[in-house]
């Protein structure tokens, strides 16, 4: 993965650099959080992936605890315990703990952001608001898309504090997030001579989903990586690009041009992008295609009844609905991947916990009455 290559380049004295498509050069293709997570492991222990996996397992354990804490605040302690246990044994998350990939870290950060947002509103103290905003900024540095979640948290909490209090909280969150992001944005400005607050992958993601070979996902219909399909004329321009930001801009322009020339096909691809998010990309190879589908179907069978059971308290759970809708909307214009859903599946586990807790109560009622 890109983070791994950049971390190794840093160890080799090549700086934060990566050869995106062609030509190694200073990079901002991915955020720095997971890259430095890997760099620290490699620097201290060498290229030892077992320790990386163990560290990610610890993050996964903390994420299970956060799942329990969020569920407890939303509904009950029993649901919290069940949801946390479900996270701990969920096969998809266990699998990703064993890969050098930032998904587990990103899940931890989004859960921590949600939990701290809840706590800061309840405690009504500056320190909690500040901490919540700092974590939101750190989340955005890990995955740039997470910056767009901050307005969602604000919308979610609209029902709780008074308007003046909400403006006060939102201001602290946003300024705190900016404080965290600012050093990286300054670095990027010095490197690329233009304002790039987070990453240089927006154009690439747009082109992946909008080009003559687009399938809605990262692979063509015959299973070829989308990057291998870049046409010669565009590739020639990318070879001449002086910075990674220029490469990203070239891909962005190519994607926009294709959309303008093929508006009907662009619209027709939307269901395929959504399929890749909320089901799976059929062209993408998998080590366990049937198992992942069975696990996901079981998750839906238990979580959908939980959504129904919480319908009267939909405002409490609306943060999840908003995240589902926003993720679907945003990526329906670019490219779909199942890992976008994995980032939010902890919320499915909470709804599954609601349903299992309900079943347990009904079972006890039958048993004793």
Q: What is the pLDDT of residues 92-149, one digit of tens each?
A: 999 999 999 999 999 999 999 999 999 998 888 899 999 999 999 999 999 999 999 9
pLDDT for the residue numbered 38: 97
| Helix residue ranges, H only, 77-125 | 77-89, 91-97, 103-123
In this structure, what DSSP letter does residue 310 have? T
Apex 281 CA angle, 212 and 97, nearest 5: 130
Phi, psi angle pair for 213, to nearest 5°: -110, 10
pLDDT for the residue numbered 369: 62
Residue 266 has pLDDT above 80, yes or no: yes
More confident residue, 289 or 106: 106
Q: Which single residue is written with the structure tokens 């650099």?
A: 17
Residue 159 has pLDDT above 70, yes or no: no
Rounded to a whole number, what is the distance in angstroms from the first to the last CA of the chain?
A: 57
pLDDT for the residue numbered 163: 63
pLDDT tens digit string along 193-212?
Answer: 999 999 999 999 999 999 99
Q: Which residues pair with 26 in a beta bridge?
A: 17
pLDDT for the residue numbered 158: 73
Residue 283 has pLDDT above 70, yes or no: no
Indicate the average pLDDT of the chain: 93
pLDDT band, residue 275 (cuts 50/70/90): very high
Q: In the chain, pLDDT over 90 holds for what percent of residues? A: 82
The helix/strand/coil state of 281 is coil
pLDDT band, residue 319 (cuts 50/70/90): very high
pLDDT tens digit string along 221-259?
Answer: 888 899 899 999 999 999 999 999 999 999 999 999 999
The helix or strand, by DSSP H or E, that contains position 204, with its residue range, turns out to be helix 202-209
Q: In the chain, pLDDT over 70 holds for what percent of residues? A: 96
Residue 334 has pLDDT above 90, yes or no: yes
d(CA 353, CA 95): 21
Q: Which residues pair with 236 in a beta bridge?
A: none
d(CA 314, CA 321): 9
Residue 21 has pLDDT above 70, yes or no: yes
pLDDT tens digit string along 24-55?
Answer: 999 999 999 999 999 999 999 999 899 999 99
Q: What is the mean pLDDT of residues 150-161?
A: 82
The helix or strand, by DSSP H or E, that contains position 26, with its residue range, turns out to be strand 25-26
Q: What is the mean pLDDT of residues 217-223?
A: 88
pLDDT for the residue numbered 285: 64
Residue 162 has pLDDT above 90, yes or no: no
CA distances (Å), 344 to each of 40, 108, 120, in order? 27, 11, 22
d(CA 79, CA 351): 9
pLDDT band, residue 366 (cuts 50/70/90): confident
Q: What is the mean pLDDT of residues 323-336?
A: 95
Q: Which of 96-100, 164-168, 246-250, 346-350 has the lowest mean pLDDT?
A: 164-168
CB atoms within 10 A of CB 329: 11
pLDDT tens digit string along 54-65?
Answer: 999 999 999 999
d(CA 29, CA 3): 9
* Nearest CA among 71, 5, 8, 23 for reference residue 238: 23
């Amino acid at each position: 993965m890109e983070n791994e290559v950049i971390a190794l380049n840093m160890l080799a004295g090549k700086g934060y650099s990566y050869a995106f498509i062609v030509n190694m050069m200073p990079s901002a293709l991915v955020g720095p959080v997971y890259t430095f997570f890997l760099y620290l492991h490699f620097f201290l222990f060498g290229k030892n992936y077992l320790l990386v996996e163990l560290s990610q397992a610890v993050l996964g354990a903390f994420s299970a605890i956060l799942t329990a804490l969020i569920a407890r605040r939303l509904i009950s302690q029993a649901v919290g315990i069940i949801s946390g246990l479900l996270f701990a044994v969920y096969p998809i998350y266990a699998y990703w703990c064993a890969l050098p990939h930032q998904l587990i870290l990103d899940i931890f950060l989004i859960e921590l952001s949600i939990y701290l947002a809840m706590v800061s509103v309840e405690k009504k103290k500056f320190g909690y608001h500040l901490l919540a905003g700092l974590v939101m900024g750190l989340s955005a540095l890990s995955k740039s898309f997470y910056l767009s979640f901050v307005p969602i948290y604000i919308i979610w909490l609209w029902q709780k504090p008074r308007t003046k209090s909400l403006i006060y909280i939102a201001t602290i969150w946003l300024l705190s997030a900016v404080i965290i992001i600012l050093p990286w944005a300054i670095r990027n400005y010095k490197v690329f001579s233009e304002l790039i607050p987070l990453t240089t992958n927006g154009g690439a993601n747009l082109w992946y989903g909008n080009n003559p070979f687009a399938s809605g996902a990262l692979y063509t219909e015959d299973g070829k990586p989308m990057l291998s399909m870049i046409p010669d004329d565009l590739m020639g321009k990318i070879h001449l690009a002086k910075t990674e930001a220029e490469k990203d801009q070239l891909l962005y322009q190519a994607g926009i041009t294709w959309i303008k020339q093929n508006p009907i096909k662009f619209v027709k691809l939307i269901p395929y992008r959504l399929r890749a998010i909320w089901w799976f990309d059929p062209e993408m190879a998998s080590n366990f295609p049937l198992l992942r589908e069975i696990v996901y179907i079981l998750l839906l069978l238990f979580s959908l009844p939980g959504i129904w059971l919480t319908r009267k308290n939909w405002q409490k759970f609306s943060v999840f609905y908003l995240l589902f809708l926003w993720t679907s909307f945003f990526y329906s214009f670019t490219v779909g991947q199942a890992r976008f859903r994995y980032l939010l599946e902890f919320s499915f586990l909470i709804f599954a916990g609601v349903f299992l807790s309900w079943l347990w109560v009904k079972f006890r009622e039958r048993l004793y009455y």
